[in-house]
Amino acid sequence: MSRYSDDVLVEKAQSDDLNAFDKLVSRYEEKIYNLAYRILRNREDPEDVLQETFISVFKSLKKFKRKSAFSTWVYRIATNAALMKLRKKKLETVSLDAPLKISENEIKRETVDWSKNPGKIFKTQRLREIMEQAIELLPYHYKTVFLLRDEEGLSTDEVAKVLNISVSAVKSRLHRARLSLREKLTKYFSTGSFEKPKEV
């Protein structure tokens, strides 16, 4: 049944086919878990968000009109569930809209082209940790855009629908998130160390 498209499975699930719904869940559970894991910054259990998301999906399944893709709808429910968790715990000490501070206008003279480093340098566990930490430190609104667009591979339009923001907002947040991540990696590769930057 896994060869069926989301649409076909959704239709089956809407006519009370549990097996089809299970397939849909299996198709997205890991993605949603990862998304929740990164949004929640290890402060909350992503499993809660995972369960809440799919119970919510299950309950509203009949109301889902398939005007948008099933994936878009699921991501939307998941990001909202994760955000609610953060809000409830009031763990974000600053506004979720806090701007991302990057030096967009003052481009430094770059001297180290670390992108040409030998491949094995990019496969170290240390780099992975650094990258995960870098994502973790992005403010919420940049992080969600970045995760959905670059990690989950959604299109700009889809991300805009999931987060209910304009396409240009997606583009600008994505761009700023990417710049910020590049700066962090550049710092790591040029100094060989990675100081934990102050949280923005």
Partner 1 sequence: MECKDLIFFLSDYIDGELNPKICAELDQHLNKCESCRIVFNTFEKTIYLFKEIEPHKLPDGVHNRLHKVIKESWETKMRIHLKTFASNKMEIKNKKKEVETMSPIRRYHPLAEISKIEDMFDRYLNQFFRDFFPKRMVRGELARVEWTPAVDIVDKGTHFLLRSELPGLKREDISISVTTDSIDISGETKRSEEEKKENYYKCERYYGSFSRSLQIPADVVPDKVEASLKDGILEVKLPKKEVKKVKAIDVKVK
Q: Does residue 76 belong to the site contacting partner 1 (CB under 8 A)? A: yes
User: What is the token pair recorded at 9?
Assistant: 């499975």
Q: How far is the CB of 198 from partner 1 (least distance, A)?
A: 21
Task: Please choose, from the candidates 151, 150, 149, 152, the residue with its C-alpha nearest in 3D space to the C-alpha of residue 160.
Answer: 149
Whole-angstrom CA distances from 104 to 107, 146, 172 are 7, 17, 12
Stretch that binds partner 1, among 2-10, 55-63, 93-101, 137-145 (CB under 8 A): 55-63
Q: Does residue 121 belong to the site contacting partner 1 (CB under 8 A)? A: no
Q: Does residue 71 belong to the site contacting partner 1 (CB under 8 A)? A: no
Q: Looking at this protein, which amino acid is placed at residue 21?
A: F
* Contact (CB, 8 A) for 98 and 89: no
Q: Does residue 181 belong to the site contacting partner 1 (CB under 8 A)? A: yes
Q: Distance between CA atoms of 20 and 3, rounded to whole angstroms? A: 11
Instruction: Give the residue with the Cβ less far from partner 1, 3 or 108.
Output: 108
How many other C-beta atoms are found inside a 10 Å radius of the C-beta of residue 127? 15
Q: Does residue 41 belong to the site contacting partner 1 (CB under 8 A)? A: no
Q: Which position among 1, 8, 55, 91 is part of the footprint of partner 1 (CB under 8 A)?
A: 55
DSSP labels for 5-66?
-HHHHHHHHHTT-HHHHHHHHHHHHHHHHHHHHHHTTTSS-HHHHHHHHHHHHHHHGGG---
Q: Which position among 25, 40, 148, 162 is part of the footprint of partner 1 (CB under 8 A)?
A: 25
Q: Looking at this protein, which amino acid is placed at residue 2?
A: S
Binding site for partner 1 (CB under 8 A): 16, 18, 21-22, 25-26, 29-31, 33-34, 37, 47-48, 50-52, 54-56, 58-60, 62-63, 76-77, 80-81, 83-84, 104-107, 109-116, 122, 127-128, 131-132, 135, 146, 150-151, 153, 156, 171, 174-175, 178-179, 181-182, 185-186
